[in-house]
Chains A and B, each alone.
Chain A
Amino acid sequence: MRILLIDDSKTMRNIQKSVLAQLGHTTVEEACDGQDALNKVGAFQPELILVDWNMPNMDGLTFVKNFRQTNKNTPLIMVTTESEKARVIEAIKAGVNNYVIKPFTPDLLSQRITETLAKRAA
């Protein structure tokens, strides 16, 4: 499965890659902001995207809105420090399928990835 990680922090991307590797997912592409991600989705064709919110150049919410204009199906998980209810609602309205609040344990992220993919398969 092709998975795109979008976060301006390499540390956070490495943590997410580690969790994905434990789930058996090793085909991973990385992007450092929303614009970088938009430049890569065409060629990479991700089947799952994990996206941060607060990033330079283009934030995660803007990426989601742009991405959903042409792709309604690829599951999106927002991984962010934004925890307010209004923010979560805003992200879901924009098109994210699941939401993980930082900080997170590897088990929690793993669980959210698994449930997101299970819903997609259903």
Chain B
Amino acid sequence: MDPAFITPFIASVQNVFSTMMQLPVQLGDPSVKMTPALSYDVSGIIGMSGDVVGNVVISLPMPTALRLVALFTGTEMKAENPDFADAIGELANMISGNAKGMFAGKKRVQISCPSVVIGSNHTVARPKDVPCIVIPATTDCGQFVIEIAVSQRENAQAPAADAAATTNA
């Protein structure tokens, strides 16, 4: 995977966490996701389309997710609370949205509304032909990972300077 697709997400995670929660994030070295697949309790999933296709997933163990949601929302809540999934989704949304704005070459990229999976020891499957990069992250709330499985769409071209932006789906 082109490192240009990874560094925006590293910067974005740090920006989102520091701005919204005043929470520093230490990011480890990216690595290719290997089998057996890593399993998690909570995942926020964002799809990407346009010149860059694939998805980005932030995955957390439940204790970390509970602490982060409490910090983000200002309210402690259980995972069964609908607002818990909403908070995770919004974090995933901001991380992906921020990163999208940093892609070099002015790529046209749309992001989907977030999906959130809550379930002990779940795995997030991906198409076999899309490499997935895992970035471990450590905070005072605990550890989590960001999984990036994106690639440049074939025949993608940089937009003309005066072209209007495409509308969202």
Interface size of B by Cβ–Cβ distance < 8 Å?
29
Assembled-state Cα–Cα distance A104/B111 (Å) = 19
Assembled-state Cα–Cα distance A18/B106 (Å) = 35
Whether A55 pairs with B94 at a CB distance below 8 angstroms is no
Whether A81 pairs with B86 at a CB distance below 8 angstroms is no
Task: Using known A-B contacts A8-B113, A59-B167, A83-B98, determine if residue A54 contacts B93 with beta carbons closer than 8 Å.
Answer: yes
Segment 93-107 of A: residues with Cβ below 8 Å from B? 101-105
Binds B, one of A9-17, A21-29, A36-44: A9-17
Assembled-state Cα–Cα distance A40/B84 (Å) = 26
Assembled-state Cα–Cα distance A18/B86 (Å) = 17
Q: For this complex, into which size category does the number of interface residues on chain A fall?
A: 20 to 34
Whether B113 pairs with A81 at a CB distance below 8 angstroms is no
Which residues on A sit within 8 Å (CB–CB) of B94?
Answer: 81, 102-103
Kindly supply a per-residue 1/0 record for chain B positions 75-92, scoring 1 wherever the CB is within 8 Å of any chain A CB and 0 otherwise: 000000011001101100
A90 at the interface (CB under 8 A from B): yes
Q: Nearest CB to that of B96 among chain A residues?
A: A81
New A-B contacts (8) at CB < 8 Å, excluding given A89-B165, A101-B101: A9-B86, A9-B90, A11-B72, A56-B113, A86-B159, A86-B165, A87-B165, A90-B164
Interface residues of B (CB under 8 A from A): 15-16, 19-20, 72-74, 82-83, 86-87, 89-90, 93-94, 96-98, 100-101, 106, 111, 113, 159, 163-165, 167-168
